[in-house]
Amino acid sequence: MENQEPNHVRRVRYKGTHPKAFREKYKELQPELYADDVAKVMDQGRTPAGMHRSICVDEILEILKVKPGEIGLDATLGYGGHSHEILKLLQPGGRLYAIDVDPFELPRTQERLQTLGYGPDVLVIQKLNFSNIDRLVVETGPLHFVLADLGVSSMQIDNPERGFSFKVEGPLDLRLNPKSGNPASALLKTISQGRLEEILVENADEPYFEPIANAIKTHLSKGRVIETTTQLQKIITDALEFLPKANRKEDIKKSCQRCFQALRIAVNDEFGALDKFLEKLPEALTAGGRVAILSFHSGEDRRVKKSFQRFFREGVYSEVAPDPIRPSVQECNTNPRARSAKLRWAVKA
Ligand SMILES: C[S@@+](CC[C@H](N)C(=O)[O-])C[C@H]1O[C@@H](n2cnc3c(N)ncnc32)[C@H](O)[C@@H]1O
């Protein structure tokens, strides 16, 4: 038995010439093995499944001014694209700490970066919420630079099992760490209509918060369920049937995007985590330490801007970004997910 060959597992067969379902995308799910296919998908302005295209890389590197021998933190490791570029600049003698809350993508990224030659002597990866940056700093000492690229990665959005996208059927989950807390489907059951309306406005500026919250709570009060992404998408679509026909399809799509964003932020307490992180940041940095934060909607950007400006007025930061930096037109054309990005920076006094 000991020398028995492992059974060969055939890949899933798909109909036609191109795989449509996520689990069939065998090439793109192992991007490092299929460089030509990945390049083709990216040339078409798309992000290959199982991969994330890092945003504003040059702009971030210019802000962070990473030097050999420094100690820094990537507070949102994701696919590790930013980390990889930073690691190239840190040697000899430097060390990058990198954290993320996602228990599924984190080990994959760790393995990928390890294969590229970045072992635990130069790259220390931990599953940690950036709201606990103070706990990490006890171990690392003051940091020369910190990067946070907020929100979700393309791997998370594209995986239907995670429930981040209304475009594909999946459980209505939306947790960055599905091993902790409650999914969005559970939140919808317990939340009051008034609080749901508040969440839709506060987290995503949803203009049709009233009919949408009303439709969701009415649906549930009749004993029906909302357990999947497409069930919620249908309820939102039906609730907005009154919109003018000319732009209805596009308007409903935007409302779906905003509602899923609002629920994601609520389920993961993203604003709570960001507020704690921003408050603890100055203590985590050395004098002259640099921080760059990439945000993707007004709720995030407002918080980053206010915190940076307050600490600047108090003399805690010596310099802060006067205005947000936006990705270039060229980057937005080749990676549409960059379009809403805003980058802010600060330097510790
Ligand atoms: C936009 S992606 C980062 C992509 C990464 N910069 C790259 O180049 O591949 C954001 C990541 O932050 C993680 N994240 C979100 N909130 C977090 C938090 N409070 N603490 C730690 N990680 C968090 C998400 O799980 C996700 O993997």
pLDDT at 114 exceeding the cut of 60: yes
pLDDT at 17 exceeding the cut of 90: no
The predicted pLDDT at position 22 comes to 61
Rounded Cα distance between 242 and 251, Å, is 11
130 confidence band (pLDDT: 50, 70, 90): very high
Average pLDDT value for residue range 156-168 = 93
pLDDT in tens, 171-185: 999 999 999 999 999
Average pLDDT value for residue range 193-204 = 97
Looking from the CA of residue 176, the nearest atom of ligand 1 is 25
Does the CB atom of residue 54 touch ligand 1 within 6 A? Answer: yes
Please tell me the residue having the least CA distance from ligand 1 atom 18.
129
Beta strands 71-74 and 143-149: pairing type?
Answer: parallel
Site to substitute for ligand 1 among 77, 123, 156, most atoms within 8 A of C-beta: 77
The predicted pLDDT at position 50 comes to 77
Residues above pLDDT 90, as percent of the chain: 85
The predicted pLDDT at position 1 comes to 38
Q: What is the pLDDT of the chain when averaged over all its residues?
A: 92
pLDDT in tens, 275-316: 999 999 999 999 999 999 999 999 999 999 999 999 999 999
Higher-pLDDT residue of 12, 269: 269
Does the CB atom of residue 295 touch ligand 1 within 6 A? Answer: no
Average pLDDT value for residue range 249-269 = 98
